[in-house]
Homo-oligomer: A and B are copies of this chain.
Amino acid sequence: MDQLTEKEIEHFLSINKGWKLVDKKWIEKSYRFKEYLDGIAFVQKIARISEEANHHPFISIDYKLIKVRLTSWRAKGLTALDTSLAQQFDQTYEE
C-alpha cells in the first residue's frame, strides 16, 4: 500500500478532530472516558477491529485516558489503512 501524500494527510487531519501527526509517520489521538472500565471496553472494541484488519495500533491506558497511535511499518509511514482505522476508532468512540 502506498504512503499517503502530505496533502492527503493534511486533508485527513482537517476533517477528523483530535488527530495529530507525530514524527511525520504516526497519527495519534487521545480519548477520554468518564469511567475506567468504559475506556477498557473501548480498547477491546478497537483491538477487535484492528485484529480483523491485521493492522495494530500502539495503545496506552493512563487511567481514563486512552491514547492510540497508528502507522504502517511496511510503507514506513502513513497509508489509507491508518486513516481508515482511525475513522473506525472515532466511530466506535461516538457509539
Contacts and interface: CB of A to CB of B under 8 A. Distances in A.
* A contact face: mostly helix, strand, loop, or mixed: helix
A40 to B, nearest CB: 4
Interface in A24-67: 36-37, 40, 43-44, 47-48, 50-51, 56, 58-63
A51 B58 CA distance: 23
Contacts of A47: 36-37, 40, 61
A36 B56 contact: yes
A51 B40 CA distance: 11
A37 B47 CA distance: 7
Contacts of A56: 36, 63
Interface of A: 36-37, 40, 43-44, 47-48, 50-51, 56, 58-63
